[in-house]
Chain A
Amino acid sequence: MTGLTVRDLKVVFDGFVAVGGVDLDVPAGDVRFIIGPNGAGKTTLVDAITGLARATGTVTFDGQELLGRKVHRIARLGVGRTFQNSTVFEELTVLQNLDIAAGWHRGPLTLLRRRTSIPPRVQAALETIRLTAVRDQLAGTLPHGQKQWLEIGMLLVQDAKLFLLDEPVAGMSHEERDATGELLGELSRDHTVVVIEHDMDFLRRFARTVTVMHAGRILSEGTVAEVQADPRVQEVYLGHSVEA
């Protein structure tokens, strides 16, 4: 079984059940959107898959069990993620950010040498995320949208096969959203993509399948049309944010 498989995943913080028994299948090559009201457990689910939150149950990716592994080991199996609020190494340049993500397989001895040329993979990622012109700028000085792209570029160079993107278009302008959508389209050709998103318009345009979470559980799953027609979704989700 390829792709991401989650069975009976539970995350409990001090007695509070953030994720209460989630089953999820994302087949290889899918573009899955996960939506749900605030506090539904979407980010916690991603935290559990990537090892940042302690969880019970099973999570397998390409046949490998992820739970119980260290965070960097999970990353090296090809599971990549971004964070909300465009999280990059602010005090390092764009190129250095990519170098860190690309460099986990470097041996300890090469780490003491200065790099003299840009590896082709890093150069290709710079072009994909459209940041070649600002590669020597400190990442902290980039506009919000470009930071989000840098995060995606870091996943590209670290050889992620599964992209878990936490609100990749939050706070972006219309043009930036469109550009990000295009980027997602390019990515989905040879990666599996899971997107947590609040933006319904963005979802309708780019999602292949949708999973709706509510109160730590899966409420509904299917195509955009199927999910929108589901009365439980209309009751719970749209009731919370009518304007979306």
Chain B
Amino acid sequence: MTLVLSQLFTGISIGAVLLLIALGLSLTFGQMNVINMAHGELIAAGAYTVYVLQKVLSGAGLSLLIALPVAFVVAGLLGVLIEVLLIRRLYARPLDTLLVTWGVSLILQQVFRDVFGAPNVQTRAPSALTGSIHVTDDLVISSSRVFILVLALVAVAALTAGLRTTPLGRRIRAVVQNRDLAAVSGLATGRVDRLTFFIGSGLAGIAGVALTLVGPIGPTMGTNLIVNAFLVVVVGGIGQLKGTVIVAFTLGIVQSMVEYTTTVSVASVIVFVVIVAFLQWRPQGLFTLRTRSLA
């Protein structure tokens, strides 16, 4: 029982990281209808931000706290750069966008190798997050995983509140719902696009910061996660926060459970099979945006 609970918690924390990545993807995908293949490298950019800050600042706790906003801005600006230089020029050409952003992803990976070296690098976790919490005598969960979970939940809450209640959020939703109508209503859709890319990419940077607490930092760390994040976005329903949250945690838990009883590769295979089956049943995802009736 304790084992199950401990795996459950590991799953939830995997889900939390997936959620952070998928939220950003879902936001940029919903906005521009294109897939940014370089999203994974924005995660790595966030993680390397922690590494660099730790070189400059001595305290691990301080550098982690500063890294959160800095990584958000670094990854966000990188995302905006990709949007301005490439994605907006390939609007309505999704296949080309896919190829071009994949190229960007490869270039960024090489840049990371050249600057930081090909081997993985390590950061020190702040002492407050290295310990673990004894829930019961047997059940022990690591504090860094709790921190990641809280971070993800705060991000979801902030994003939801921002999209729902602020006029800025409503503009983003308006452009997602009908770009032409938004433009003829006088909205500068290009600026809304850039802002959305900034927020979505910034969330990837935050995910990168979170990942430094649970694993090594390497040039290809984002690629390994991005496939699962895509699955979360597709299965959850594009542009649907609720679906993204549910699927991210479900996927994390299923993966961690199956991984424990079998192996990592078997777990991946099982997850993929389940998702393919699910999409046969509901190709539009768990939740869908209500679309204009054709009648």
Contact = CB atoms under 8 A, between A and B. Distances in A.
A and B form one complex: yes
10 contacts: A50-B184, A72-B187, A75-B184, A83-B180, A90-B177, A91-B290, A108-B168, A111-B166, A140-B290, A154-B185
B182 A100 contact: yes
B222 to A, nearest CB: 30
Interface string B150-187: 00000000000000011110110110011011111111
A187 to B, nearest CB: 17
A88 interface: yes
Nearest to B166: A112
Interface residues of B, number: 24
A80 B167 contact: no
B85 interface: no
A40 interface: no
B289 interface: yes
A92 B166 contact: no
Given A112-B168, A140-B290, A89 B184 contact: no
A108 B191 CA distance: 11
Interface string A158-201: 10000000000000000000000000000000000000000000
B189 interface: yes
B177 A101 contact: no
B292 interface: yes
A89 B186 contact: no
B274 interface: no
A99 interface: yes
Interface in A67-96: 70-72, 74-76, 80-81, 83, 85, 87-92, 96
A38 B97 CA distance: 35
B165 to A, nearest CB: 6
B188 interface: yes
Interface of B: 165-168, 170-171, 173-174, 177-178, 180-190, 289-290, 292
Contact of B186 (A85, A87, A91, A158): A158
Contacts of A113: 166-167
A221 B62 CA distance: 74
Contacts of A51: 183
Given A89-B173, A91-B173, A114-B165, A104 B187 contact: yes
A111 B174 contact: no
A92 B183 contact: no
Contacts of B185: 72, 75, 100-101, 104, 154, 158
Given A89-B177, A91-B290, A80 B184 contact: yes
A99 B165 CA distance: 13
B239 to A, nearest CB: 10
Contacts of B187: 72, 100, 104
Contact of A100 (B165, B170, B188): B170
Nearest to A88: B181
A226 B184 CA distance: 34
A106 B166 CA distance: 13
A89 B167 contact: no
A106 B168 CA distance: 10
Interface residues of A, number: 37
B186 A99 contact: no
Contacts of A76: 186
A233 to B, nearest CB: 30
Contacts of A104: 185-188
Contact of B184 (A81, A90, A112): A81
A17 interface: no
A52 interface: yes
A42 B249 CA distance: 51
Contacts of A90: 177, 290, 292
B177 A72 contact: no
Contact of B167 (A74, A101, A106): A106
B290 A75 contact: no
A106 to B, nearest CB: 7
Given A71-B184, A89-B178, A114 B290 contact: no
A115 interface: yes
A231 interface: no
Contacts of A50: 184
A99 B184 contact: no
Nearest to A100: B174
A87 B178 contact: yes
Given A111-B166, A114-B166, A92 B186 contact: no
Most chain B beta-carbon contacts within 10 A, residue among A80, A89, A112: A89
A74 B188 CA distance: 11
Most chain A beta-carbon contacts within 10 A, residue among B178, B181, B183, B185: B185
